[in-house]
Chains A and B, each alone.
Chain A
Amino acid sequence: MTPIRVLLADDHKLMRSGLRLLLQQSPEFTVVGEADDGREAVELFNSLQPDVVVMDVGMPRLNGVEAAAQITDAKPGAAIVMLSMHSDESYVLRALKAGARAYLLKDSAEADLGRAILAVKEGKSFFSPAVSKVLLEDYMRKLARSGAEDSFDLLSAREREILQLVAEGNSSKEVANLLNLSVHTVETHRSNLMQKLNLRGLPELILYAVRKGLIS
Chain B
Amino acid sequence: MSLGIAFGLLVAIVLAAGWDALSTLREMHVREESARLNFLSRTEPIVQVRAKLTVYGNLVQESVFAEGVPSSQAKEVFRQVQSELGRYPTPRGPDERTLVDRLQTLLAEQERDYNAMVGLREAPQMNLLLNSQLLPAQQRAFAAAEEIVSWNTEQLRAADSELLSSFNQLRNRMKQLLFLLLGASLAIALSGFALIAAQQREIQKRYAELAKNHEAQADLSARLINAQEQERLSISRELHDEVGQSLGAMLVDLGRLTSILPEENAGIQEAIRKIRASAECSVTSVRNMALLLRPSMLDDLGLVAAIEWQAREVSRRTDVEVEVDAPELSGELREDVKVCLYRLVQEALNNVSRHSGARHAWVTLRQDQRQIGLTVRDDGKGFDPDRSRGLGLVGMRERLRLLHGLLRVESSPGAGTSIVASLPLA
Chain A residues at the B interface, C-beta cutoff of 8 Å: 11-12, 14-15, 17-19, 21-22, 25, 57-58, 63-65, 85-86, 88-91, 94, 106-107, 109-111, 137-138, 141-142, 145-146
Contacts and interface: CB of A to CB of B under 8 A. Distances in A.
Contacts of B244: 85
Interface string B228-263: 000000000000110011111111111110011000
Nearest to B287: A85
Given A85-B287, A90-B306, A145-B321, 14 more contacts: A12-B241, A15-B248, A17-B249, A22-B252, A25-B260, A85-B283, A88-B297, A107-B248, A107-B251, A107-B284, A109-B248, A109-B251, A137-B316, A145-B359
Nearest to A11: B241
10 contacts: A12-B248, A15-B245, A18-B248, A18-B252, A22-B255, A88-B297, A90-B312, A106-B283, A110-B255, A138-B312
A19 B245 CA distance: 12
Interface residues of B, number: 35
A18 to B, nearest CB: 4
Contacts of B251: 106-107, 109-110
Interface in B280-319: 280, 283-284, 287, 296-297, 299-301, 305-306, 308-309, 312, 315-316
Given A58-B296, A85-B244, A90-B297, A110 B305 contact: no
Given A90-B306, A91-B305, A107-B280, A14 B249 contact: yes
Given A14-B246, A90-B305, A111-B255, A142 B316 contact: no
Max count, chain B CB within 10 A of own CB: residue among A64, A85, A90, A145: A90
A117 B245 CA distance: 21
B252 A109 contact: yes
Nearest to A26: B259
Max count, chain A CB within 10 A of own CB: residue among B240, B245, B305, B308: B245
Contacts of A85: 240, 244, 248, 283, 287, 296
Given A58-B296, A142-B315, A21 B309 contact: no
Nearest to A23: B256
Nearest to B308: A90
A19 B250 CA distance: 10
Contact of B245 (A12, A64, A111): A12
Nearest to B313: A88
Contacts of A57: 300
Contact of B300 (A63, A109, A110): A63
Nearest to B311: A90
B297 A91 contact: yes
Given A14-B249, A65-B300, A94-B301, A88 B312 contact: yes
Contact of B253 (A21, A91, A94, A138): A21
Max count, chain A CB within 10 A of own CB: residue among B287, B296, B300: B300
B360 to A, nearest CB: 8
Given A107-B280, A142-B321, A18 B312 contact: no
Interface in B86-105: none
A139 to B, nearest CB: 11
Contact of A58 (B246, B247, B253, B299): B299
A14 B255 CA distance: 14
Interface in B52-72: none
A90 B309 contact: yes
A88 B306 CA distance: 10
Contacts of B240: 58, 85
A13 B315 CA distance: 36
B271 to A, nearest CB: 17
Given A107-B251, A110-B255, A65 B301 contact: yes
